[in-house]
Amino acid sequence: MTDKFSKYKKWVAQLEIGKNACYRCRKQGNDKSGNNFHFYGIGLGGVCFSAGCEFKLLSDEALEEIGAAEVDLEEELEMTKKFSRNWWKEFRKQLTFDCKKWRGIRTETNKFYGVMYEYDVESEIPKLKTQYCPTTYNFRISGIKSRSLPKDFHSIGVVGKQAELFGQHRFKESSGKFVVLTAGEIDCLSAHQMLEDYRKASKNKDNFDAIPVVSPTAGEGSVNQIRNQYDWLNRFERIIVCFDNDKAGKKALDKISKVLPKGKMYVMELTKNDTNEYIWDGNKVIDSSKQWISSFWNATKYTPSGIVGSGALRAKVREYFQREKIPLPPFLADLNEMTCGGFPLKQIINFASASGTGKSTIVDELAYFWTFNSPYKLGVLSLEAESGKYGVNLLSRHIGVKLELCKTSDEAMAILDSPEVIEAENSLWLDENDNHRIHLIEDRGMDIEHVQRLILELIIRCECQLIIIDPIQDVLDKVGNTEQAEFADWLKDMTKTYDVTFILVNHVRKNSNNAQANSTGANISEEDIRGSAAIFNSAAFNILMMRNKEAEDNVEKNTTYVKITKARGPGNTGWAGELYYDNETHTMQNRKTIPGMPLGRPPTPDKNGEYEDERPRVGRQGNPVNSPNQGPMEPQEIDHEVDDEFEEFLDQTAFKGSSEVSPEDITDVDESDYFDDDGLPWDGE
């Protein structure tokens, strides 16, 4: 007899640690690149990171938690099915809300959440067989999680991170003081039942509504699902987390603290193992709800432990070096060398130069490079360029044509509508799985608190770990030095709490005392950065850029000199490169790599006219340059050779399309699919 699981078993057997093809994605015709599924090792499990899939191979620890000896392969077949609301309407007719107080849950509680039960009617005494919990997407039923007693779990439809939290449909418009987040559906039902009994027994029961109680649909580890409900959870003043009183529950607290609105997470200390044990003692109904209610009111603000014993440093040291750095593009080869391979995670990086000298162009070039090459997702808070202009900048770089040089809209549209550019756009804006490559915020006129909320959304909802703020002075100029220092401290806190690196683009002050203007290439220092000294003191790297935008020589006018004045870690400071901007192709180049182009002459702080790095400088006619006082260079034609790198790049990043499973795959949609006032997710009458 043929083993119907032979293909699945073969897939498991050939898994290698790292990226692999996803079994379910491939079965559905997706994952052409063969890297959606990440395998952590034998016994450690794995997960598909493709949106709408989330296929999991459970670890030995997870199997032990749910009391399973091995993966139920039947479940894998069930999980690939699409959910039909019409099927569910027919199937539910044989179900009931009455579970005979199984686990202490009453009928009205089940009805409120839309939870139904199936009995084995073939036995002499009907025996409870299966529990069915609805899941929702956009507050419409999207799937079913079933539990065949005692612990045989199945699911169908959208039940993972794309779904809302279990029970959230009952509190769609809720906001206020509290929301309770439990570990699972049974704990959710138990907590709601105890809170409702407490409310109804109160003299003021008519003065306040039921406290919302919800749970993730895949246990305490459903970090991504909780992250996706950030906006809804942020409506409440306190998010009371009530996870199991065991090792797994406590471990999950640290994970979800990184995706909940900052400062709103409170933790209940349970005296029993889980919430359900306060109403159910193994085989009978009990009432220990007063203890649970007391723990609810005594929930304390979550504070992660900050104490590390020296015995743990061995692992911490290795963890530090295993963390991928943020790479730098080829035109910043000198900077890459001086930073020893790029910027570390969990740092603040300052870029600073005078107004109008091209710092945003350089940072845009970095953003473009990171779009394809950063190991961390990129977010941009663009305070000068609105989204359309920012898109023009990135697209110009991507296709090698500066679109701003188009004299008419027809000329621009002719380029944009060409098949080559349309294909190039697809690979720029979306990755091979149709996910956004970057996330952009373009709000203006914001106060610091609003900026902080938006940054948290980039971090938590969009999972960005690399965030550009351009320019930071548009936020800080509106407040005094004290508030600026507090904001700098807040950024440092974010780097450590959420493992984020911030790239801050800075303006510098105007020169005084008739000195050379900063905007014409004067040598600047950290102290020239506009605003509080906390800005440059808080950073790990301070990178200053100088350009004489009024230079007579066209090449010199388009050359930016870079220096590092602070490099926490490697400690390398000094001149870090000469960058040439090609206006026609909207690209930055390392001046040393351009054929026939000699080095330029950066500003020098040495009053004797010596260069810090003592490199020989060459003028336009090949004569050594010993002093920055030498006259202007003679103009020289530059041969910009065109090679095949751009075409090759397009081939590598070409949009391949995707057909991932999504909530739209749910069939048989009609207007009766909404929840009614009784919490029933099927009748629309």
User: Which of 395-419 are b and which e, b meaning 16 or more Cβ less than 10 Å from the residue's Cβ?
Assistant: bbbbbbbbbeebeeeeebeeebeee
Neighbours of 302 (CB within 10 A): 17
What integer pLDDT is reported at residue 122 of this predicted model?
78
- pLDDT reported for residue 293: 95
From the list 34, 69, 62, the residue with the least C-alpha distance to 48 is 34
Q: Is residue 393 helix, strand or coil?
A: helix
Cβ(218)–Cβ(225) below 8 Å: yes
pLDDT along the chain (685 residues), means of 10: 65 84 82 82 77 68 46 43 79 92 95 94 83 92 88 82 92 94 94 95 84 85 85 95 87 88 91 93 91 93 77 83 92 93 94 86 92 94 87 91 91 92 90 88 77 90 92 88 92 91 91 71 88 90 91 88 93 91 87 80 52 38 31 36 47 41 51 51 43
Label residue 426 exposed, middle or buried (CB < 10 Å: 0-12, 13-18, 19+): middle
pLDDT of residue 3: 58
Quick count: other Cβ atoms within 10 Å of Cβ 87? 15
The pTM score is: 0.66
Contact 564, 540 (CB under 8 A): no
Q: Is 393 left (phi over 0), alpha (psi -120 to 50) or beta?
A: alpha
- Residue pair 194/293 in contact (Cβ under 8 Å)? The answer is yes
Tokens 């080869």 belong to residue: 333
Q: For residue 27, which phi and psi values (nearest 5 degrees)?
A: -65, -30
Residue 665 burial (CB count, 10 A): 15
Q: How is residue 234 written in tokens?
A: 């942020």
User: Going by C-beta distance under 8 Å and a sequence separation of 6 or more, which residues neighbour residue 262?
Assistant: 456, 497
To the nearest 5 percent, what fractions of the chain are helix, strand and coil? Answer: 35, 20, 45
The Cα–Cα gap between 541 and 43 comes to 41
Domains parsed from the chain with CATH numbers: 9-71 (no CATH), 81-304 (3.40.1360.10), 344-624 (3.40.50.300)
